């Protein structure tokens, strides 16, 4: 079945053959039914005619007998009592009518007193054809009670007796003889043999296997193929014995109709075979003849015709099927090849040859379309390949550009370990590979120069503008202190060569580390946020055009002063205009509230981290649409004191360290115990450096700086020796003896015991150890 | 299987026959031409039940001129079957019949009319066919007792007279003529038939086996053997109806009786019904009540020279 469904040619062929078959079958059935009816009608006519012929033949003969007997009555009555004459008339009756087998006169008991109870002359034709007279009647043969005598006498009319056997099958025709008063005094009879009649009926065969039976008035068989049934069985006893697959009701009804001397036809089933039965009576004697013909016989010609027609049809259908199948297959075979070719094309082989089509039909058009498709496909793919290559190249270049761009930004925080007053952190997250945002800062002459900017657009053009601006800022800020002037200079430089009509917003600030005063100017940049006393506000910014818009624009400075409790957040619009999936903006309001929620004592680093986290929470899964840049500046506690000592890497120099600390203690009025402890810790730390930092080297310098920052003594010991982080050394196991303990372990333990905080950094190829003591 | 059984039984009986040195020859005459009414005797003979008890039974049917009773009287037969009425009638006339077995337990005698008849009175003025050979006494008695006048027409046999409507009604046997009438396609309505077994005082049992008093006296053992073997024959027929019909049909064909198997089958069913009856009893010795009822019926309707009642005990031989 699967194959049939798959093959168009087989399927179509089956459809066509099915339709043809249906049409033909319908017309044949109609024809067959009409033909059957007319054949049946013809059969009825034929059987009717044959039956009519036979019944009229029989009737004629019986009529002849009846007439002959009636003709004999008058002479017999006239010669009543003249026995010889009566016998002569009787003999004449037989001799003149060959069909009459015997004839008798029979009288009532003692009608002729001289003849006694019985008087019955009987003339019979013997086997040789001789006519002989017999005298019947007597105690052994009391004819008065016999059917042929009794019934017509009682009925007082002529009567054909029920056929009976008396050597041969016969029937007796009896006419009553009456006296002058009309009383029955005797009868005259004629016997006829029924053998000829039996033959006549049995031989009636309208069709090959037809058969005919004749039944008597009382239903007994008079004629039947099976002669053993004659007079033994009635039509009803016999047919009752037919098999179950016979139409008993119809057969019974047929018998009753025959007994009623009707004529007609009916259809009956005998042992599963349908028969057409035609019946007609022989009224004179009360007999009835039925012929039964097998339907299959009657319709045999029709059936053989049907067989031939169906055979021809079957042959024709096979031929139609083969033809249609072949034609459709021929038409559709290129389709199969096209399917194969398409599969190959789908694998990427666009130049695979297509099947040749010689016709100019739809399949040819299909091929043309296929050829065009092949060309378009290969062109498209070529283009796609070169585009992909170009993109790959740009992408790799962009990667490099990103690296370069990020390299331009200062990334070490805190940027100036030797500027302990400033806490600063910045971040830049580009939306694409290269961004248009920038930030920068540097320290010059006790001032922190910082800037943040946002070039218009994104990607490479913005990045280029940002790079230009960044380097310009560095070079201009080298010799200009005033942010407004720096902006003015930058604007002129950018606008002069700004053919691309790009611009960049920029915020520049200069922080005086000593005073905490910030002088700043903005070129169309977002106003930074100041967090002071738990309250976030935008600082005042003079409205101005961004850089690159036009030459000769002057900018205005503003200033604020911050202290160590303030936090300044400078950012680009990538922060306030960050979008979530619902296209909501992060907004200025959110920035302020989020900033207020961050603890004021957080350092710059964690401040930046908190803000980044806040943006990430808001944006959620949405793609970042713009560069996000933040710069957080805090001022540390005021430094009230600063001292520095530089010694050589010699043990003898430790004396100088001791003097340095004692003088520090004197100056600040420290408790002698604190001075001693400080001395102990510092000696321990510095002696370690002297002993181990410069193997085999002499004359190297060790710097010891001390500042008092907000009630805290901070010692910074830096050397350019071998990298060594004493804080990572194993904590000393003080349960061991001094000899057993490794280098440094005990020293750092001692320092930690005395001091409040110890930290190590490797900065610019220097070991920087910072130890703090709260005052 | 049934044929194998028949063959085995036949073989055994043949063996028995050759073994028995002295078989007593007995002639038996049923009261009518061959038909299923006598199936039990045919079977007893065919299967050797008679031979088994040392009897060589020849079955000789009566003919139109000589009845079974006449054959017994002429000593042409040793045993005959007769209707109870016929037998008692004969004895009342001076005959000396002995009933050795009563097979029928109730009357199979009936009357059929073309018109429907609810009661005997409806027969008034009708022409009624009766057998010339007899058997009509019960009907006469029943009709005469109701003071109904009918014209009796003697016929020889068969149903042609009735079917030709030469008579209005006809006496019939439920096991023979009534069935034949139906078989000719005549549709019998129940209210066309009077069953005498349903009429008071008319349910006289019919067939029994009889012998002469002389024969019974001289051959008491033979009487007993014939009785027992005949019972055995009937009992076999009850259990083997189809095979019994085969045997009946052989008799029917050999005597060229115009009949058919279906008719004989229906006859056998009715005969067996009459033997068993509604009481469920069978082959009892004739009861004295039945005997007296039959004798009374005769004495009331016939004129006898000697009206001395016959004695039941004399009538019965077991």
- In tens, the pLDDT along A602-655 reads 888 888 888 888 888 888 888 877 888 999 998 877 666 778 888 988 888 888
3-class DSSP assignment, residue A3 = helix
A241 CB within 8 Å of a chain B CB: yes
CB A423 within 8 A of CB A434: no
Give per-residue pLDDT as tens, B113-158.
Answer: 999 998 889 999 999 999 887 778 888 888 888 889 999 999 988 8
Please count the other Cβ atoms lying within 10 Å of the Cβ belonging to residue A105.
23
Output the CA torsion sign for A476, A478, A483, A484: negative
Handedness of CA A489, A490, A495, A497 (dihedral sign): positive
Q: Which residues of A touch B185 (CB under 8 A)?
A: 218-219, 234-236, 255-256, 259
Question: How far is residue B65 from each of residues A139, A657, B30, B209, measured CA to CA in Å?
Answer: 8, 182, 15, 21
CA-wise closest residue to A661 among A634, A635, A684, A640:
A684
CB-based contact B256 A237, cutoff 8 Å:
no
Residue A577, CA atoms < 13 Å, CB-side half-sphere: 10
The answer to whether B242 contacts chain A (CB < 8 Å) is no
- Per-residue b/e over B37-51, b at no fewer than 16 CB within 10 Å? bbbbbbbbbbbbbbb
Contacts of B162 in chain A (CB under 8 A): none
Q: Are A198 and A222 in contact (CB under 8 A)?
A: yes
- Which residue, among A524, A527, A526, has the nearest Cα to A505 in the 3D structure? A524
Residue B151 contacts A where some CB pair is shorter than 8 Å? no
Report how far residue A155's alpha carbon sits from residue A162's, in angstroms, rounded to the nearest whole number. 15
A117 close contact with B: CB closer than 8 A: no
Q: Tell me what pLDDT residue A124 has.
A: 93
Reference B34, options B281, B307, B256, B287; nearest CA is B256
- Does residue B318 have a pLDDT over 70? no
Q: Which of B67, B183, B259, B263 to mutate to test the interface with A (most CBs of A within 10 A)?
A: B183
| A478: alpha, beta or left? (left if phi > 0; alpha if psi -120 to 50) | alpha
Residue B20 pLDDT class (50, 70, 90 cuts): very low
Question: Is A234 within 8 Å of chain B by CB?
Answer: yes
Is residue A454 within 8 Å of A573, Cβ to Cβ? yes
Nearest to B185 among A161, A229, A236 (CB): A236
Other Cβ atoms less than 10 A from the Cβ of B215: the count is 22
Q: Do B167 and A154 touch (CB under 8 A)?
A: yes
CA distance B225 to A528: 149
Best residue in B159, B165, B185, B188 to probe A by mutation, most A CBs within 10 Å? B185
The Cα angle at residue A398 between residues A393 and A402, in degrees rounded to 5: 155
Comparing B229 with A764, which gets the higher pLDDT? B229
Omega before residue A414 within 30° of 0, cis: yes
ipTM: 0.85
Closest to B185 (Cβ–Cβ): which among A145, A229, A234?
Answer: A234
Gap between the Cα atoms of A158 and A63, Å rounded? 12
Q: Which chain A residues are Cβ-neighbours of B164 within 8 angstroms?
A: 147, 151, 155, 159, 217
pLDDT band at B161 (very low <50, low <70, confident <90, very high): very high
- For chain B, the residue count is 318
Question: Could you say which of B160, B166, B261 has the minimum Cβ distance to residue A218?
Answer: B160
Query: Are B64 and A159 an interchain contact pair (Cβ–Cβ within 8 Å)?
Result: no
Q: Does A140 touch chain B (CB under 8 A)?
A: yes
Q: Is A680 on the interface with B (CB under 8 A)?
A: no
Sign of the C-alpha dihedral computed for residues A13, A14, A16 and A20 taken in this order: positive
Assess B164–A contact: CB distance below 8 Å, yes or no.
yes
Please choose, from the candidates A509, A525, A608, A599, the residue with its C-alpha nearest in 3D space to the C-alpha of residue A560: A509
Q: How far is CA B200 from the centre of its chain?
A: 21
Q: Report d(CA A162, CA A172) in Å as an integer.
A: 8
What pLDDT is attached to residue A696? Answer: 81
Q: Determine the Cα–Cα distance for residues A232 and A628; give it in Å rounded to an integer.
A: 126
Between CA A731 and CA A729 the distance in angstroms is: 6
Task: Show the 3-state SS of chain B.
Answer: CHHHHHHHHHHHHHHHHHHCCCCEEEEEECCCCCCHHHHHHHHHHHCCHHHHCCEEEEECCCCCCCCHHHHHHCCCCCEEEEEHHHHHHHHHCCCCEEEEEECCCCCCEEEEECCCCCCHHHHCCCEEEEECCCCCHHHHHHHHHCCCCCEEEEECCCCHHHHCCCCCEEEEECCCHHHHHHHCCCCCCHHHEEEHHHCCCCCCCCEEEEEEHHHHHHCHHHHHHHHHHHHHHHHHHHHCHHHHHHHHHHHHHHCCCCCCHHHHHHHHHHHHHHHHCCCCCCCCCCCHHHHHHHHHHHHHHCCCCCCCCCCHHHHECC
Residues of chain A falling short of pLDDT 70 = 1-6, 412-420, 432-435, 458, 638-640, 710-711, 730-745
Residues in chain A: 775
- Measure Cα distances from A91 to A72, A85, A99, B207 in Å: 10, 10, 13, 48
A147 part of contact set with chain B, CB < 8 Å: yes
Give the pLDDT confidence of A105-154 residue by residue, as tens digits.
Answer: 999 998 998 888 999 999 998 878 889 999 998 888 889 999 999 999 99
The pLDDT of residue A365: 85
Chain-chain contact of B158 with A147 (C-beta, under 8 angstroms): yes
For residues A652-690, b (16+ Cβ closer than 10 Å) or e, as one string? ebbebbeebbbebbeeeebeeebbebbbebbbbbbebbb
Q: How far apart are CA B140 and CA B111, in angstroms?
A: 11
**Does the CB of B237 have a partner CB in chain A at under 8 Å?**
no
CB contact under 8 A, B185 and A145: no
State whether residue B159 sits within 8 Å of chain A by CB. yes
Q: Residue B50's pLDDT is what?
A: 95
pLDDT digits (tens, 9 = 90+) for A423-439: 888 888 877 656 678 88
Residue B258: alpha-carbon gap to chain centroid: 19
Q: How far is B125 from chain A (nearest CA, A)?
A: 15
Helix (H) or strand (E) holding A560: strand A558-561
Say how far apart CA A654 and CA A686 lie, in whole Å: 8
A-B contacts (CB, under 8 Å): 74
Question: Which chain A residues are within 8 Å of B183, Cβ to Cβ?
Answer: 219, 234, 236-237
Inspect the interface and report whether the beta carbons of A232 and B260 lie closer than 8 Å: yes
For residues B125, B129, B133, B137, the Cα torsion angle rounded to the nearest 10 degrees is -40
What is the spatial distance between Cα A313 and Cα A321, in angstroms, rounded to a whole number? 12
Over chain B, what is the mean pLDDT?
87
Separation CA A757–CA A773 (nearest Å): 7
> Taking a contact as any Cβ pair under 8 Å apart, which residues of chain B between 45 and 104 contact chain A?
64-65
Angle between helix axes A483-496 and A459-479 (nearest 10 degrees) is 130
Distance from CA of A219 to the nearest CA of B (A): 5
Are A462 and A472 within 8 A, CB to CB? Answer: no
Distance, in Å, from the CA atom of A57 to the CA atom of A678, rounded to the nearest integer, reads: 167
Per DSSP, A526 falls in state P
Contacts of B35 by beta carbon, 8 Å cutoff, 6+ apart: B176, B248, B252, B257, B259, B264, B267
Residues 294-313 in B contacting A (C-alpha not used; CB under 8 Å): none
Measure the CA–CA gap between B199 and B188, rounded to whole angstroms: 20
Q: What is the pLDDT of residue A643?
A: 82
* Smallest Cα distance from A178 to chain B, Å: 18
Q: Which residue has the higher pLDDT, B282 or B45?
A: B45
pLDDT at A418: 60
């Amino acid at each position: 079945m699967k194959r049939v469904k798959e093959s168009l040619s087989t399927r179509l062929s089956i459809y066509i053959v099915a339709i043809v078959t249906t049409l033909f079958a319908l017309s044949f059935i109609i024809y067959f039914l009409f033909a059957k009816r007319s054949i049946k009608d013809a059969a009825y006519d034929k059987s009717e005619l044959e039956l009519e012929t036979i019944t009229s033949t029989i009737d004629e003969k019986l009529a002849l007998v009846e007439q002959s007997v009636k003709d004999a009555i008058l002479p017999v009555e006239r010669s009543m009592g003249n026995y010889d004459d009566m016998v002569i008339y009787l003999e004449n009756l037989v001799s003149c009518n060959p069909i009459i087998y015997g004839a008798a006169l029979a009288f009532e008991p003692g009608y002729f007193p001289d003849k006694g109870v019985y008087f019955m002359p009987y003339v019979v034709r013997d086997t040789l054809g001789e006519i002989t007279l017999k005298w019947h009647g007597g105690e052994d043969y009391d004819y008065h009670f016999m059917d042929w005598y009794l019934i017509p006498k009682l009925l007082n009319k002529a009567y054909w007796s029920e056929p009976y056997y008396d050597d041969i099958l016969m029937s007796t025709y009896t006419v009553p003889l009456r006296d002058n008063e009309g009383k029955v005094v005797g009868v005259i009879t004629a016997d006829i043999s029924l053998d000829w009649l039996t033959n006549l009926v049995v031989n009636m065969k309208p069709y090959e296997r037809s058969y005919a039976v004749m039944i008597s008035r009382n239903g007994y068989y008079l004629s039947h193929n099976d002669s053993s049934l004659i007079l033994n069985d009635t039509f009803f006893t016999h047919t009752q014995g037919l098999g179950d697959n016979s139409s008993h009701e119809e057969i019974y009804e047929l018998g009753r109709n025959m007994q009623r001397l009707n004529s007609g036809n009916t259809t009956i089933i005998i042992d599963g075979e349908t028969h057409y039965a035609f019946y007609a009576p022989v009224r004179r004697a009360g007999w009835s003849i039925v012929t039964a013909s097998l339907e299959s016989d009657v319709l045999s010609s029709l059936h053989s015709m049907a067989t031939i027609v169906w055979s021809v049809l079957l042959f024709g259908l096979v031929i139609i099927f083969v033809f249609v199948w072949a034609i459709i297959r021929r038409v559709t075979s290129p389709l199969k090849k096209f399917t194969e070719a398409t599969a190959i094309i789908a694998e990427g082989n666009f130049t695979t040859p297509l099947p040749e089509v010689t016709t100019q039909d739809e399949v040819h058009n299909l091929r043309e379309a296929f050829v065009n498709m092949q060309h378009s496909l290969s062109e498209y793919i070529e283009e796609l390949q070169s585009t992909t290559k170009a993109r790959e190249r740009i992408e790799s270049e962009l990667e490099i550009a990103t690296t370069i761009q990020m390299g331009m930004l200062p990334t070490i925080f805190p940027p100036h370990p030797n500027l302990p007053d400033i806490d600063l952190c910045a971040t830049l997250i580009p939306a694409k590979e290269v961004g248009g945002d920038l930030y920068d800062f540097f320290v010059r002459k006790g001032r922190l120069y910082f800037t943040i900017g946002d070039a218009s657009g994104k990607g490479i053009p913005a990045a280029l503008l940002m790079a230009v601006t960044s380097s310009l800022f560095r070079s201009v800020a080298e010799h200009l202190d005033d942010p407004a002037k720096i902006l003015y200079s930058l604007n002129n430089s950018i606008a002069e060569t700004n053919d691309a009509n790009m611009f960049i917003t920029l915020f520049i600030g200069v922080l005086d580390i000593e005073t905490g005063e910030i002088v700043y100017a903005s070129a169309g940049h977002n106003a930074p946020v100041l967090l002071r006393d738990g309250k976030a506000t935008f600082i005042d910014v003079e409205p101005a055009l961004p850089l690159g818009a036009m030459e000769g624009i002057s900018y205005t400075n503003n200033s604020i002063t911050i202290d160590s409790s303030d936090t300044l957040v400078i950012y680009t619009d990538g922060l306030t205009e960050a979008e979530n999936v619902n296209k909501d903006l992060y907004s200025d309001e959110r920035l302020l509230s989020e900033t207020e929620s961050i603890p004021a004592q957080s350092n710059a680093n964690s401040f930046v981290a908190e803000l980044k986290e806040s943006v990430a929470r808001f944006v959620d899964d949405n793609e970042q649409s713009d560069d996000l840049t933040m710069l957080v500046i805090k001022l540390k506690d005021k430094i009230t004191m600063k001292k520095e000592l530089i010694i050589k890497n010699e043990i003898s120099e430790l004396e100088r360290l001791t003097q340095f600390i004692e003088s520090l203690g004197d100056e600040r009025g420290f408790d002698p115990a604190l001075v001693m402890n400080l001395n102990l810790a510092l000696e321990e730390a510095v002696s370690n450096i002297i002993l181990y930092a410069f193997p085999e080297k002499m004359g190297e310098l060790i710097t010891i700086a001390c500042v008092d920052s907000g009630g805290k003594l901070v010692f910074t010991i830096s050397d350019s020796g071998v990298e060594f982080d004493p804080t990572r050394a194993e904590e000393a196991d003080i349960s061991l003896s001094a000899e057993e303990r490794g280098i440094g372990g005990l020293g750092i333990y001692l320092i930690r015991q005395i001091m409040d905080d110890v930290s190590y950094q490797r900065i610019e190829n220097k070991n920087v150890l910072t130890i703090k003591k709260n005052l | 299987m049934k044929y194998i059984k028949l063959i085995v039984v036949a073989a055994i009986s043949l063996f028995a026959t050759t073994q028995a040195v002295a078989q007593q020859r007995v002639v038996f005459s049923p009261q009518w031409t061959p038909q299923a009414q006598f199936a039990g005797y045919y079977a007893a003979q065919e299967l050797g039940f008679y031979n088994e008890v040392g009897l060589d039974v020849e079955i000789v049917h009566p003919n139109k001129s000589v009845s079974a009773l006449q054959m017994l009287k002429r000593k042409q037969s040793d045993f005959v079957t007769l209707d109870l009425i016929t037998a008692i009638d004969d004895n009342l006339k001076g005959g000396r019949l002995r009933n050795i077995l009563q097979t029928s337990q109730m009357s199979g005698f009936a009357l059929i009319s073309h018109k429907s008849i609810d009661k005997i009175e409806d027969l008034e003025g009708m022409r009624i066919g009766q057998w010339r050979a007899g058997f009509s006494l019960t009907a006469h008695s029943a009709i005469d007792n109701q003071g109904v006048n009918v014209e009796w027409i003697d016929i020889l046999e068969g149903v042609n007279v009735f079917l030709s409507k030469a008579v209005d009604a006809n006496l019939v046997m439920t096991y023979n003529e009534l069935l034949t009438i139906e078989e000719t396609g005549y549709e019998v309505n129940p209210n066309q038939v009077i069953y005498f077994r349903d009429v008071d005082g008319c349910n006289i049992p019919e067939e029994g086996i009889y012998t002469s008093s002389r024969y019974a006296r001289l051959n008491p053992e033979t009487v007993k053997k014939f009785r027992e073997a005949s019972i055995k024959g009937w009992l076999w027929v009850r259990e083997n109806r189809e095979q019994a019909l085969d045997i009946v049909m052989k008799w029917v064909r050999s005597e060229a009786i115009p009949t058919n198997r279906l008719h004989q089958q229906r006859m056998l069913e009715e005969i067996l019904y009459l033997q068993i009856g509604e009481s469920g009893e069978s082959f009892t010795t004739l009861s004295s009540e039945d005997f007296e009822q039959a004798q009374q019926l005769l004495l009331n309707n016939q004129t006898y020279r000697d009206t001395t009642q016959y004695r039941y005990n004399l009538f019965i031989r077991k």
